[in-house]
Amino acid sequence: MDAEGTAFFTGLRRVVLMAAEAAVFFVAMSETPELIVLKWKGMRVTGIVAAVVCAFALRGQSVPAPGVAAGQELAREIERVREMVAAGVAAPSSLRRLEAQRDDLRDEALLRETLYGQLAVEDLSPEQADEMVGAATRRVDRRRGALEEARARVEAGAASRLSLTPFLEDLDRTKRALDEAESRARLLKEISEIARREAEFEQASGETPLVPYGPLPVAEKYEGAGELLPAQWRETVLRFEAKFGRGLPVSAKGETAFHKALGYDHRGRVDVAIDPDSEPGQWLRRHLESLRVPYFLFRAAVPGKASAAHIHIGPPSLRLRRAD
């Protein structure tokens, strides 16, 4: 909440305390046309709550600005309005709206950490990915509900059609955030599939099966004779970009929260989401072989589907010990 908003609330509360023996409060609740009559019950706290709720309506604020302070302020208002509802001087719908605003702030904070923050996708745990998509979905559902309420007011003649614009724009923003969250979750699922295929390859005995669309094994291993040094990695990235005009599609580099959650040591390893039989994939394989760097390649199990097709640079990802 900004300094202007804080001063506004402080001044308004003082006015209400001075006029605590007034008989009736009229409060126009935000985003609804209903008028709630707050009858005096001989409680000063009721007057304070009425003023705060009124302030939200008068200033046109339905959700405070994101942040810890806003969340704390909103939590206090929820407790106060809950007392008012219990005393029968406020409508339960006002409490539900405030609780929805609180939940929305929590979901927004979660998205700031997992979707908009500096947390790389491979550093997300499976649980965080699920929470991220869940938070984005809930925010879309709330905007849809708000839009339906706004449309009902328009159809009832209580508002103009122009009043729907901010609701539509807000819904569009949350939908885009949901698309981004789902895209991140899909990438994380692909990393999971990559790790699973590597583990199956290491544990398999006998001959490696062939892909169903040609006489090629689903996985191959190049033993090499060393490891990829940092200077060699930088050279690999730069040469790939110079040759193909795009960045090397790295899906996981080094130790990640996701690999640790699966129980694998991915330190000193790199997964590149690339078809090993494509021109860029063949170039990368030849380059690694020239450096004598070990790698594994994994072909798509279904023709035309690139999911989990990749090149794993470095030794296999070992199982973590409990001490790790």
At 313, list the tokens.
């640079």
Amino acid symbol at 107? D
pLDDT at 198: 66
Q: Render pLDDT for 20-69 as a digit per residue (tens, 0 to 9).
A: 333 322 233 343 333 333 333 333 333 444 444 444 444 444 444 445 67
Q: Who has greater pLDDT, 121 or 233?
A: 233
- The radius of gyration of the chain's CA atoms, rounded to the nearest angstrom, is 29
- Tell me what pLDDT residue 219 has: 81
The mean per-residue pLDDT over the stretch 196-214 comes to 61
Q: Does pLDDT of 306 surpass 90?
A: no
State phi, psi for 253 to the nearest 5 degrees: -130, 120
The reported pLDDT for the residue numbered 170 is 94
- Segment (H or E) for 135: helix 126-155
Q: Residue 319 — very low, low, confident or very high, per pLDDT cuts 50/70/90?
A: low
DSSP for residue 163: G
State CA 196 to chain mean position distance: 24
Average pLDDT value for residue range 252-269: 73
Q: Name which residue leads in pLDDT, 30 or 148.
A: 148
Say which residue, 119 or 140, is predicted with more confidence: 140
Mean pLDDT of 278-294: 94
Among residues 73, 71, 141, the alpha carbon closest in space to that of 110 is found at 71
And the tokens for 162? 């122009």
Query: Cα-flanking dihedrals φ and ψ of residue 138, to 5°?
Result: -65, -40
The SS3 of residue 218 is: coil
pLDDT for 303 beyond 50: no
Q: If you average pLDDT over every residue of the chain, what do you get?
A: 74
Q: What percent of the chain has pLDDT over 90?
A: 35
Q: Largest Cα–Cα distance of the chain, in whole Å? A: 89
In the predicted structure, residue 196 carries a pLDDT above the cut 50: yes
Tell if the pTM clears 0.85, that is, is over it. no
In this predicted structure, the answer to whether residue 18 has a pLDDT above a threshold of 70 is no
Token reading at 73: 């302020």
CA atoms within 13 A on the CB side of 75: 9
Distance CA 118, CA 291 (A): 33
Where does residue 4 rank: exposed (0-12), middle (13-18), buried (19+ CB within 10 A)?
exposed
**70-95: pLDDT as tens digits:** 778 888 999 999 999 999 999 998 99
What are the domain boundaries of the chain? 1-114, 213-319
